[in-house]
Structure 1
Amino acid sequence: MKVLLMVAPSVGALTLEASNDIAQNMGFYPPLGILYVGTYLKRNSEHEVHIIDSESERLTYKDIEEKIKTIKPDVLGITAFTNTLKNVLDVLKIAKRVHPACITVLGGPHVPLFPDETLQFKEVDYAICGDGEYSFKKLVDVLGEKSPADIKEEELKKIEGIVFKTSDGTIYKNGYARVKDIDSLPFPDRAFLRKDLYFCILGKKRLMTTIMSSRGCPFQCTFCNTPDKLYRYRSAQNVVDEMEYIVSMGIEEIFFFDDLFNITAERAIAVCDEIIKRKLNVKWAFRGRVTGINEELAKKLKQAGCERIQFGIEKATDESLRIVKKSSTVEDIINAVNLTKKYGMMCVGNFLLFTPGEGEKEAEEIIRFALKLKLDHAEFSVFIPYPGTQIYNEGLKSGFFAKDYWAEYVRNPDPNFQLLWEEKVPRERMYEITARAHKRFYFRPRIVWNELKRTTNWTEFKRKLNGAMIVLKLR
């Protein structure tokens, strides 16, 4: 069978005005989810596999239509985020129109949040909750070359994580699929995609890619809707094997795309030790927890080639950190930032403004805290009460939200939909404060001078200039 795996365009997806311009221009990262699924299918079957990243290729819907006409896929698998749902459905409508026999399958974070609503759309034939490698292959094998009438529902029901509409019209759901031994999976085959399309605005090298050394996040932050709370990680040897494979492709920089790379310092040290032992020359960065770094790890990170750490700092007081269940303190934050800088690595901080109970006073506290820290970069975001988060659920229960706005949205996706926690500050003022926070942070002599000193090539200079122009345009 011909199988096409896709990422839909994000143009017109739900956004937040103040922070989205920055987020959209931070770079393009390879779609590891469909790369893992496509690689596993290719290695373990005779199916013909194609992958299209509409984002990095900047494809229009007309471009996508032509590609579907050319490939004529028997199965189209597509990643769905709640904020890109309309875009995903637009792609599926194109596929069903130009190639009606195509069977469509949705995966990604949206499906476990809204499995029943996902199957209400006539363009969606199947969906998979959770890790897709094993389950998607089993589904494609069951579908085979059969006509819809010959597909046995009992075979489908055996597939972990599957969601589909049965012959009597009910929605069948078989839990959440997880790959427990991630070391057993083949490395994502990056030859599916053009490696020159991917970059990070904070990176120094021309070519970069991403890697995932773990899956799941065990923490309970009230603003996060990560569905997979079961933490699983790869061995240090397996991770560095993949890093060596990446370097052999001529890629010069790696970003660890784990929810959190350093959930424990011991495991992060093991990866560093393996890199150092093999004398692997590569620059890399990661997203991490402030409580997961100590002196020993900071020293090892620098020795192993780590250049940048991105911390989810979020708040400026112990009480506000406690309220959002960050499991960290202001002292932890200061210690993590200082250790990162002590060993010569760049430090990035993410901050969340206007969570429940917060107004302009609290936003100013967060901004001033960010300015005091020894950060090289900062991103300030207006809080969005995403579906499935503790905050959104409490907002529904308390009556703060008059109805389930997200459930309404996913039944009829509207690209103009925006839901904020407008308790003390109107949304336009939120955007204004957030935009000003970026300008206050970046247009300081220390930040500008340090960025100029760190710039080593023309590619890096152009990226930084582009970033500066984005910040200037924020309103």
Structure 2
Amino acid sequence: MRKKVLLLHCPGDKIYLHDYYTSYSSKANYYWPPSDLIILSGVLREFELSVIDAIAEKLRPSECMKKIIDLKPDAIIFTTGSATWDNDIRFINEVRQRHSCLILGSSSMFLFEARYFLEKAPSVDALILDLISSEIVEFIQGEKKVYQTIAYRNKEIFIPTPDLKRGQNFSIPVPHHELFNFHLNKSPLAKRKPFSLVITSLGCPYTCSFCVAGSIPYRYRNVDNVIEELKYLKSLGIREIMFNDPTFTVSKKRVLELCQKMKENGLDFTWVCNAHAATVSEDLVKTMRLAGCHTMMIGVESSQEEILKKYSKGATKDQIKRAFQICQKYKIRTLAYFIIGLPRETKQSVLETIKLAKELDCDYASFTVPTPDIGSRMRQEAIEKGWLDEKIKIFDSTCFPVFCSAELTKEEIWKLRQRAFREFYLRPAYLLKKINSIRSLKEFFFFLDQALAMFLR
């Protein structure tokens, strides 16, 4: 008899999103399932799999608990992160009291501080250090061996150092997308529904010190393996894809190959992706547009060249401006990511960043505060310079900041972040542009719902 494995997104008091690298509360009412659980649904295909997404289903803790007890899983894998760890582990402790089974956690933060989290969570048996490792299957099956990609308890806590080879090409079994409630996914960027996530790579080759993804070796999937998954999604009736890689456009050659094979196989999805400004070129964007791409999300972070250089952004201000101009030329919508109040920024430099956000004429802008992500170089800098207490491991990039440098207080950073939202989204020209882009009453009400949620949170 096959073992029952439950993939769990724990209940919360807000709409929380997890993408393995980060966790945060939804700025509006948008939601999509955790990337790591989607990947694991492929890796663990040989088991009898179930998914409980308490956030998507809006389950209260008691309702989620009842579903778990009724299911009687042999193993539970839960996703977590810096925004939800305390809440998640309280719920997992209750699960352990009510049901005896193997419990594993999934999050990139375990790669860097596995011992701390295992010591703080005696209810958890193991922490996954590599999402695509075959050892996860072996561990659940109970094989006795020394594991290299799982931190676990064996009388004492055992923390291996996984050998994640940078630049490795890999394949995974097609994820069980049908187990996820993709009809409940919501995104202001999606042009069609239903939509789902596809992950074509892990880690990132860029080494931005404010981001943890660059601290994880970049590995990428075989293009034919991605096409196989896209074919399966089409058979399920999925019409839109969010390629949720930290940087989808790392390899121009690979993206061009993927776009060509999507067209050859009649995979007429509309889709969005994350891009790095330094990788954006005319021929690449033109090809992506013809293959269905309609929106690119690009990290800008700051208007200040010295800040971009200090935090190893890997792109200049001119490259960033050029990337947005190319997207606009080929009618690709853009979302710009900004971090308000990075260490060493002043009020004046932040105001210049807000000005840049408006000058770029992007369709959407995301303004977050700096977060000391576990595994990022910025976290280490903040601890060393006394800006952050090392014990602080719980934070949310969409909420009040947990640290600052001497130039701005946390209160000033938060006020500037709120100001950025107002100045960008409440411009008459922007509102008129958005209203003119709406093509249906349904689209209007969705836009209104997202706007109200963002400004009333």
In structure 2, distance between residues paired with 1:128 and 1:277: 37
| 1:338 corresponding residue in structure 2 | 325
Q: State the secondary structure of the residue aligned to 2:392.
A: helix
1:434 to 391, 394, 417: 417
Contact 1:252-1:282 at 8 Å conserved across structures: yes
Name the CA shift for 1:227/1:77 in 2 (closer, same or farther; >3 Å): farther
| Deviation of the 1:177 alpha carbon | 6.4
Name the CA shift for 1:363/1:254 in 2 (closer, same or farther; >3 Å): same
| 1:25 corresponding residue in structure 2 | 28
In structure 1, distance between residues paired with 2:219 and 2:312: 21
| 1:148 corresponding residue in structure 2 | none
| 1:115 corresponding residue in structure 2 | 114
| 1:106 corresponding residue in structure 2 | 105
Letter of the 1:421 counterpart: C
Name the CA shift for 1:278/1:96 in 2 (closer, same or farther; >3 Å): closer
| Deviation of the 1:78 alpha carbon | 0.9
Task: Show structure 1 runs of 5+ residues with no match.
Answer: 144-154, 411-415
| 1:247 corresponding residue in structure 2 | 234
Q: State the secondary structure of the residue aligned to 1:370.
A: helix
Superimposed CA distance per residue, residues 245-286 of structure 1 (whole angstroms, 9 cap, x where no aligned partner): 212211111110001000122222222222233343210010
- Mean Cα deviation higher: 463-472 or 343-352: 463-472
Superimposed CA distance per residue, residues 127-182 of structure 1 (whole angstroms, 9 cap, x where no aligned partner): 22122551221101116xxxxxxxxxxx242x221212332xx3211222659876
| 1:140 corresponding residue in structure 2 | 140
In structure 2, distance between residues paired with 1:205 and 1:404: 43
Letter of the 1:96 counterpart: R
| 2:161 corresponding residue in structure 1 | 175
1:294 to 272, 277, 281: 281
Name the CA shift for 1:215/1:21 in 2 (closer, same or farther; >3 Å): closer
Q: State the secondary structure of the residue aligned to 1:114.
A: helix
Name the CA shift for 1:94/1:228 in 2 (closer, same or farther; >3 Å): same
Superimposed CA distance per residue, residues 180-204 of structure 1 (whole angstroms, 9 cap, x where no aligned partner): 8765311111111222111212222
| 2:20 corresponding residue in structure 1 | none
Higher-Rg structure is: 1
Question: Where do residues 6-17 of structure 1 align in structure 2 (5 Å cutoff)?
Answer: 6-11=8-13
- Mean Cα deviation higher: 329-338 or 89-98: 89-98
Q: Within the alignment, does 1:311 sit opposite 2:298 as a pair? A: yes
Aligned residue pairs total 445
| 1:147 corresponding residue in structure 2 | none
In structure 2, distance between residues paired with 1:207 and 1:440: 32
Question: Where do residues 228-377 of structure 1 align in structure 2 (5 Å cutoff)?
Answer: 229-377=216-364
Length-normalised TM-score, structure 2: 0.90
Q: State the secondary structure of the residue aligned to 1:363.
A: helix
Name the CA shift for 1:358/1:280 in 2 (closer, same or farther; >3 Å): same
Q: State the secondary structure of the residue aligned to 2:238.
A: coil
Superimposed CA distance per residue, residues 211-246 of structure 1 (whole angstroms, 9 cap, x where no aligned partner): 011111122111112375322222333323322321
Q: Within the alignment, does 1:456 sit opposite 2:404 as a pair? A: no
Contact 2:190-2:271 at 8 Å conserved across structures: no
Name the CA shift for 1:166/1:245 in 2 (closer, same or farther; >3 Å): closer
| Deviation of the 1:404 alpha carbon | 1.4
Letter of the 1:448 counterpart: L
Letter of the 1:439 counterpart: R
More helix by share: 1
Superimposed CA distance per residue, residues 291-346 of structure 1 (whole angstroms, 9 cap, x where no aligned partner): 11111111111111110000011111322210111010011011100000000110
In structure 2, distance between residues paired with 1:26 and 1:344: 26
In structure 1, distance between residues paired with 2:374 and 2:40: 26
Letter of the 2:202 counterpart: R
Length-normalised TM-score, structure 1: 0.87
Q: State the secondary structure of the residue aligned to 1:356.
A: coil
In structure 2, distance between residues paired with 1:417 and 1:441: 20
| 1:5 corresponding residue in structure 2 | 7
| Deviation of the 1:36 alpha carbon | 2.5
In structure 2, distance between residues paired with 1:223 and 1:10: 26
Superimposed CA distance per residue, residues 4-40 of structure 1 (whole angstroms, 9 cap, x where no aligned partner): 121123426999xxxx998342522122322322333
In structure 2, distance between residues paired with 1:472 and 1:232: 38
| Deviation of the 1:347 alpha carbon | 0.8
Letter of the 1:209 counterpart: S
2:366 to 372, 376, 379: 379
| Deviation of the 1:441 alpha carbon | 0.8
| 1:149 corresponding residue in structure 2 | none
Superimposed CA distance per residue, residues 93-115 of structure 1 (whole angstroms, 9 cap, x where no aligned partner): 1211211x222111222311321
| 1:90 corresponding residue in structure 2 | 90
